[in-house]
Amino acid sequence: MAFYSSELWGQPSIRQWPAFAREVWESAPNDDHVYRPLPPSPQAIERMMETMRWVFWLEEEQRHLVWMRAKDIDWKIIAWRLACHRTTAWRAWQKALATVAANLNGAADIDVPDCLSEVT
């Protein structure tokens, strides 16, 4: 912080406080530092691998849609990327989830509700 601005007076700015070295305890909660999360547990990795297997039950477009929703992308952006209405994108997402649920339940013949059967 300066007593006066060099832009206004045409003189070099003067610092109010001299530069000094901080102690370690003063710089501990550094907002600029990126803290890395702990590595996942083996159980978490196993759950992730099982979830990744579920993705292979879906078509490629459905995979993209499910991952966009997993990343919490807004429905308007998803609809824009898929070139459809938000409701149509939501129905396609519901159909993808119904496909995964049917496969998890061991249904040999996937029974998709009529309102979702026309969505691609």
Token pair of 25, please? 């305890």
Please tell me the predicted confidence (pLDDT) of residue 13: 59
Mean pLDDT over 9-33 rounds to 65
Choice among 4-13, 20-29, 34-43, 76-85 with the minimum mean pLDDT: 4-13
What does pTM read for this prediction? Answer: 0.58
Query: pLDDT tens digit string along 87-116?
Result: 999 999 999 999 999 999 986 555 555 544
In the chain, what are the domain boundaries?
Answer: 59-117
Q: Which residues contact 48 (CB under 8 A, 6 or more apart)?
A: 40
% of the chain with per-residue pLDDT over 70: 65
Instruction: Tell me what pLDDT residue 45 has.
Output: 95
115 close to 92: Cβ distance less than 8 angstroms? no
